[in-house]
Amino acid sequence: MRKHRSNGFWPALRGNRKAMTGAVILLVFTLVAAFPGLFTSVRDPNALLSPPSLQPSGAHWLGTTSLGQDIYAQLVYGTRQSLIIAVVAGAFATVLSVLIGVSAAYLGGVFDDLLSMLTNVMLVIPAFPLIIILSKYAGKGSLTVMLAVLVATGWSYGANQLRAQALSLRNRDFLESARVRGERRGYIIVFEVLPTMTSLIVANFLGAALYSVLSAAGLQFLGLGDPNSSSWGTMLYWSQNQQALLTGSPLWSLAPGLCVALLGAAFALINYAFDEIGNPALRPVRTNARTRVKTVKKRGQRVQRAESQ
Amino acid sequence: MSSAPNHSDPSSDHEPLLDVRGLRVSYQSSRGPVEAVGGVDLRVGRGEFVGVVGESGCGKSTLLFAVAQLLSPPAAITDGSVEFKGQNLVRLTEKQLNALRWRDYSVVMQSAMNALNPVTTIAAQFKDAILAHDRRSAEQIRARSVEVLQLVGIDPVHLGSYPHQLSGGMRQRAMIAMALLFTPDLVIMDEPTSALDVVAQRSLMVQIKELQQLLGFAVVFVTHDMSLVSHFSDRLLVMYAGQVVEAGPTRQVFDAPAHPYSRGLLDAFPSIHGPRVPLTGIPGSPPDLAEPPPGCRFAPRCPVVEEACHRVAPALYPVGGVLSRCLLDAPDRRTPATPVEATS
Amino acid sequence: MTEGLTHQEASRPAAPLPIPPLLETVELTRHFKVGAGLSRRMLHAVDGVNLVINRQEIVALVGESGSGKSTVARLLAQVHRPTSGEIRYQGRSLAALRGRRAQLAYRSDVPMVFQDPFSSLNPAYPVAHGILRGLKLHRPELGRAERQAEAERVVEAVGLSPATEILARYPHELSGGQRQRIGFAQALAYRPKLILADEPVSMLDVSIRIGLLNVMAELREREGVSFLYITHDIASARYVSDRLLVMYGGHVVESGPTEDVLAGPKHPYTQLLLSAVPDPRAPLEVDAAAAKSEPPVVIDPGPGCRFRERCPFAVERCFAETPLLRELGPAHTAACHVAVADEVPTAAV
- Please tell me the distance in Å from C263's CA to the nearest CA on chain B: 8
Contact between B90 and A292 using a beta-carbon 8 Å cutoff? no
| A144-158, C216-230, C249-263: range with lowest mean pLDDT | A144-158
- Identify the pLDDT of residue A6: 44
Name the 3-class secondary structure at B249: strand
Q: Which of A2, A288, A296 to mutate to test the interface with B (most CBs of B within 10 A)?
A: A296
Spans of all domains in chain B: 10-104+220-329
Determine phi and psi for A29, rounding to 5 degrees. -60, -40
B vs C: CB pairs below 8 A: 114
> Strands B317-319, B243-249: parallel, antiparallel or unpaired by DSSP?
unpaired
CB A282, CB A276: distance < 8 Å? yes
C308-336 residues labelled b (16+ CB within 10 A) or e (exposed): bebbebbeeebeeebbebeebbeebbbbb
User: What residues are paired with B79 via a beta bridge?
Assistant: B24
CATH fold, domain B10-104+220-329, is: Rossmann fold (3.40.50)
Higher-confidence residue: A279 or A303?
A279
Which of A285, A292, A296 faces B90 most closely, judged by CB atoms?
A296
Picking from C239, C259, C273, the nearest residue to B270 by CB comes out as: C239
**Is 50 exceeded by the pLDDT of residue C69?**
yes
- Most confident of the ranges B55-59, B144-148, C2-6, C64-68: B144-148
CB B226 within 8 A of CB B282: no
Listed residue (C332, C341, C336, C339) closest to C256, CA to CA = C332
For the ranges A138-152, B298-312, C207-221, C249-263, the lowest mean pLDDT is seen at A138-152
Cα Rg of chain A, angstroms:
24
DSSP strands (E only) in chain C: 23-34, 41-49, 52-53, 58-62, 84-89, 92-93, 112-113, 194-198, 226-231, 243-248, 251-257, 326-329, 332-334
CA distance to A294, A298, C206, per residue, from A303 (Å): 10, 8, 42
Residue C53's DSSP bridge partners are C23
Percentages helix, strand, coil for chain C (3-state, rounded to 5) are: 35, 20, 45
Mutate which of B3, B34, B91, B94 to disrupt the A interface (most A C-beta within 10 Å)? Answer: B91
Average pLDDT over residues B94-123: 85
Statement: residue C309 has pLDDT above 70:
yes
Q: Residue type at C90?
A: Q
Dump pLDDT digits (tens) for B262-280.
Answer: 998 888 888 887 788 888 8
Domain coordinates of chain C in residue numbers?
Answer: 112-191
A chain contacts of residue B90, beta-carbon cutoff 8 Å = 296, 298
Q: Which of A9-13, A172-176, A237-241, C18-22 has the lowest mean pLDDT?
A: A9-13
Q: Outline where chain A has alpha helix (H).
A: 9-15, 17-34, 36-39, 71-107, 109-124, 127-138, 143-154, 156-169, 173-181, 185-187, 198-221, 232-241, 251-278
Q: Which residues of B touch A6 (CB under 8 A)?
A: 30
* pTM of the full structure: 0.78
Q: For residues B312 and B295, is the Cβ–Cβ distance under 8 A?
A: yes
C64 touches chain B (CB under 8 A): yes
Q: What is the rounded CA–CA span in Å between residue A294 and residue C274? A: 51
Q: Which residues of chain A does B82 touch, with a Cβ-Cβ cutoff of 8 Å?
A: none
pLDDT tens-digit map of A224-256: 777 778 888 888 888 888 887 777 778 888 888
Question: Cα A293 to the chain's mean position, in Å?
Answer: 39
Query: What's A191's DSSP letter?
Result: I
The β-bridge relationship of strands C52-53 and C58-62 is unpaired
Residue of B nearest to A283 (CA): B30
- In which band, very low, low, confident or very high, does the pLDDT at A14 lie, cut at 50, 70 and 90? low
Average pLDDT over residues C327-345: 80
Of A231-235, C206-210, C281-285, minimum mean pLDDT range? C281-285
- Band of the pLDDT at C183, cuts 50, 70, 90? very high
CA C120 to chain centre: 18
**Measured between CB atoms, which of B27, B33, B93 is closest to A300?**
B93
Asked if CATH classification 1.10.3720.10 holds for the domain at A2-308, the reply, yes or no, is yes
CB contact under 8 A, A292 and B74: no
Alpha-carbon span B77 to B57, nearest angstrom: 17
Q: Looking at residue A90, what is its pLDDT?
A: 93
- Separation between Cα atoms, residue B220 and residue B190, nearest integer Å: 8
Strand order in the sheet with C226-231: C112-113, C194-198, C226-231, C58-62, C243-248, C251-257, C332-334, C326-329
> Who wins on pLDDT, A135 or C180?
C180
Q: Is C316 in a helix, a strand, or coil?
A: helix
Q: pLDDT-based confidence at A197, cuts 50/70/90?
A: confident
Is residue A281 less than 8 Å (CB to CB) from chain B?
Answer: no
Alpha carbons C78 and B203: distance in angstroms, whole number: 36
Contact A173, A114 (CB under 8 A): no
Percent of chain A with pLDDT over 70: 83
Judged by CB atoms closer than 8 Å, whether chains meet at A182 and C104 is answered as: yes
Could you give the CA distance from residue B272 to residue C278 in angstroms, rounded to a whole number? 10
- Pair type for strands C23-34 and C84-89: antiparallel
Residues 289-308 of chain A with CB under 8 A from chain B are: 291-296, 298-301
Residues of A within 8 A of C111 (CB-CB) are 180-181
Q: Which chains touch C (3 or more CB pairs under 8 A)?
A: A, B
The answer to whether ipTM exceeds 0.85 is no
- The pLDDT of residue C284 is 58
**Backbone phi, psi, residue A260, to 5°:** -60, -50
Residue A142 has pLDDT above 80, yes or no: no
> If you count residue pairs, one on A and one on C, with CB atoms under 8 Å apart, how many are there?
61
Q: Does A110 touch chain C (CB under 8 A)?
A: no
Q: Is residue A186 predicted with pLDDT exceeding 60?
A: yes
Instruction: Please tell me the predicted confidence (pLDDT) of residue A302.
Output: 39
Residue B194's nearest CA partner among B304, B255, B113, B287 is B113
Q: What is the mean pLDDT of residues B236-241?
A: 94
